[in-house]
Amino acid sequence: MPTEIVNSNDLAAQPEREIHFRTCPLCEAMCGLQIHVEDSQVKLIRPDRDDVWSKGFICPKGTTLGHLYHDPDRLRSPMIRQGPVDDPQWREVSWEEAFARCKELIDQVLERYGKSCFTYYVGNPTVHNYSLGRYVGLFQALAQLEVCYSAGTIDQWPKNVSCRLMYGNAWTIPAPDLLRTDYFVVMGANPHASQGSLLACPDVLGEMDKVRERGGKCVVIDPVRTGTCDHADEWLPILPGTDAAFLMAMVHIMFEEDLVDLGSVADIVNGLEDLRQAAADFSPEAVAEITDIEAETIRRITREVVAAPTAVVYGRIGLCNQEFGTLASWLIDVVNILSGNFDSPGGMMFGKPIAPALATLNFEPPSEQEFGRWHSRVRGAPEVLGQVPVSCLSEEIGTPGQGQIKGLVTIAGNPVISSPESLALDEALPQLECMISIDNWLNETTRQAHVILPGLSPLEQPHYDEMIWSWAARSAGNYSPAIFPPPADRPQEWEILARIGAYLGGLDDESFDLQAIDDGFLSGLCAYFGLDAQHVLEAYAQQSESDSAPMAGPERMNDFMIRVGPWGDRYGENPDGLTLQDFKDNPHGLDMGPMVPRVRELLHTPSGMIEIAPPYIVGDLPRLLDKMECIHGSAASNGKAANSQNGRANPANGLLLVSRRHVRSNNSWMHNVRVLVKGKDRCTLLIHPEDAKRTGVADGGLAQVSSEAGSLEVPVEVTENIKVGVVSLPHGWGHNKAGTRLSVASEYAGVNNNELAPGTLVDRISGNAAVNGIPVEVVPA
């Protein structure tokens, strides 16, 4: 069992203190923890040095799971709001009353306006939650809502678009084999703060150090000299939003100098000549001005990548949420393919999870992806992978007419903080006639809900990461049982999702049969994997008879996916295969080895090949060329490079705003933990000394930062660790809204940089928000 009892004779131990082994669920590093509990209180959290995955690595956030569990602001019971948003009366109620109120509100909206006037929003924490991540799909299947909004169109939709077109599945996302590479290029990512994103690898910075120790090299290309640069050999400050031009120049050089080597994937790459032609106009000399990186430097980096024994170019959120996000995200993979560093050790590879994630399964035959199958009602934004920009949500709520949104379900999200042009959404939400939030806190978004249905703390439920192993540096897994099991009558999130989804689908309480719904969900997956559903369900029924607690919901789904995975027992077909019980018996986890070549088994394109030059993406290159011409023309007339974004006029002092995060922060949802937010103010405007002098702002003083979307005041931090012409604000702050219950966060409110992000400023072909590279003006407050 993953619990030990230690006594006073043990080093640093306390009498009757339990030690639980657990995986931290907060980010993609998936660090193993020792959680010391005494008298139902978390007393200490240490790294688990025996964890087969993280081997003792831990970040500051992982030590605070006890604070999250004990937080007095965390909701333990459902809440119903009475009265208007600006003068609310909140009342704790039973689950029965809460569900009855949800049913009443949902029925009223459906009867008056129809289902087209209901939508839902899914936040990032969903993927880190044992229940929500596995059952949000069931919610949609039951609810049958026409439109979904998510944080995906804020931070990663370009990568989903490029992977859908290149490999046939939006979630077939390759990741760097950092553990075995000799040359590592980091673009638009800061593992110092994030621990890696769409890259699961414990201690990324330590692994970068190892690359250098074995004679390799690390290069960071970023407008800000982040903490990641301290572990690199070289920092190249690039102009925000121009990464695609830099990468296209690398492609140009590889063709021009005959450096292209497709390696092991040479026979399955389609569109090479189309790519060669598309790269013709992107010489390093042509892009040097727009990127502000010398042509010879671009040539040198390209040659070094090609010449290294193994190399990998990695790009993340800074490449996604910018003006040319899809081009940049696509080109990351293109450069790795052309340099012979794709689907091979030390290059860009695909994870091989022990338990496949539902989103990565191909339920439909290969097909050409269509975009713009429908458009948003107000703005006319084209649908991309089933969604439109999240900034459309406010106008769809606030604009009268047929199809106006009247009902909203939010799932583990705080879009009033995280969405572009966030003030517009904050003003629109009170117009809803039904808002239901599945969330653990009364935050800036949920304070406007009619009903809040709280989920469980991470320590109250099991954990086994689902999606994240899809881009992990090794094939491993770790199961964590609940440390503080909740009362038996308290529903888990998957049960909440199923019930609310059923209400939206027209079911009432009498016809709602959770067990039948869950069995049907599992039976559908049995058919996909070629298993007899009756045999599988009977196996679980027999197991339930012998166990005190029957396996159901996410735990049963977890067991199922392990058993149908590459090392699974397939319910007796492979007698020595894995089941969930194997992970319960091994509390420090199981590791099945490093990444292996597998692109051929994953490809799901109509051609059966890697589509290296998708017409939909290549068709956006003229827009990038127009940007280059614009900057070149402005430089010729003004004597210096000009910053422009989507044809928008520049502010008076021509600065570009980029976002950032801190190692002690996790978007907006860790700011109520005092040990993480205390100390030096981290919600500051980073500005280079030359720009500070030019704009008249002073270190420690207040600056007014303005864009076409809004204006705010923020403390100034003058530093040389940022490119001239660029300023930076952290995202996830702005906890100064009335009516929240975030006692710590409100003390360290900060400002919300999304108030400066224009909602219509997006990557045109993915709809992803462009929250990096926003033209702003900075003056003394």
Whole-structure pTM over 0.75, yes or no? yes
Q: Which residue is it, tokens 């439909």?
A: 364
**Please, what is the average pLDDT of the chain?**
94
pLDDT band at 548 (very low <50, low <70, confident <90, very high): low
Return the higher-pLDDT residue of 5 and 560: 560
Please give the Cα distance from 257 to 252 (Å, whole number).
9
Cα separation, 182 vs 626, whole angstroms: 36
Binning pLDDT at 50, 70 and 90, where does residue 546 land?
low
DSSP class of residue 93?
Answer: -
Tell me what percent of the residues of the chain surpass a pLDDT of 90. Answer: 91
In this predicted structure, the answer to whether residue 549 has a pLDDT above a threshold of 80 is: no
- Taking each continuous run of H as one helix and of E as one strand, the counts in the chain are 26, 27
Band (pLDDT 50/70/90 cuts) for residue 11 is very low
Q: What is the mean pLDDT of residues 450-465?
A: 97
Looking at the predicted structure, is the pLDDT value of residue 497 above 70? yes
Choose among 302, 312, 262: nearest CA to 282.
302
Give the pLDDT mean for 571-588: 97
Q: Which amino acid is at 555?
A: E
182, β-bridge pairs: none
Q: CA-CA distance, 320 to 341, in Å (whole number)? A: 22
Q: How far apart are CA 700 and CA 684, in angstroms?
A: 9
Range 250-262 average pLDDT: 98
Whether the predicted pLDDT of 296 surpasses 50 = yes
Residue of 416, 441, 414, 447 whose CA lies nearest to 68: 441
Is the predicted pLDDT of residue 740 greater than 80, yes or no? yes
382-418 pLDDT, tens digit per residue, is 999 999 999 999 999 999 999 999 999 999 999 999 9
Q: Can you give the pLDDT at residue 66? A: 96
Report whether 451 contacts 78 (CB < 8 A). yes
Say what the pLDDT of residue 38 is: 96
- In 3D space, the residue among 546, 544, 537, 558 whose CA is nearest the CA of residue 481 turns out to be 558
pLDDT over threshold 50, residue 363: yes
Which residues, 6+ apart, have CB-to-CB distance to 601 below 8 Å?
A: none
Residue 160's pLDDT is what?
Answer: 98
Per DSSP, the residues of 699-732 read TTSEEEEE-SS-EEEEEEEE-SSB-TTEEEEESS
Asked whether 677 and 664 are in contact (CB, 8 A), the reply is: yes
| Res 665: pLDDT | 84
- Which pLDDT tens digit goes with each residue over 632-684? 766 555 544 444 444 444 556 789 999 998 888 877 889 999 999 999 999 99
CB contact at 8 A, 350 and 595: yes
User: How far apart, in whole angstroms, are the C-alpha atoms of residue 549 and residue 504?
Assistant: 30
- The torsion region of residue 767 among left (phi > 0), alpha (psi -120 to 50) and beta comes to left
Residue 635's pLDDT is: 57
Task: Using a pLDDT cut of 70, give the percent of the chain over it.
Answer: 95
Give the model's confidence band at 15: pLDDT under 50 very low, under 70 low, under 90 confident, else very high. low
Out of 9-13, 61-65, 344-348, 483-487, least confident range: 9-13
Is residue 352's pLDDT more than 50?
yes
DSSP code at position 383:
P
CB atoms within 10 A of CB 100: 15
Q: How many CB atoms lie within 10 A of CB 474?
A: 19
Tell me the average pLDDT across 518-530: 97
How many residues would you count in the chain? 781
Among candidates 301, 304, 329, which has minimal Cα distance to 620? 329
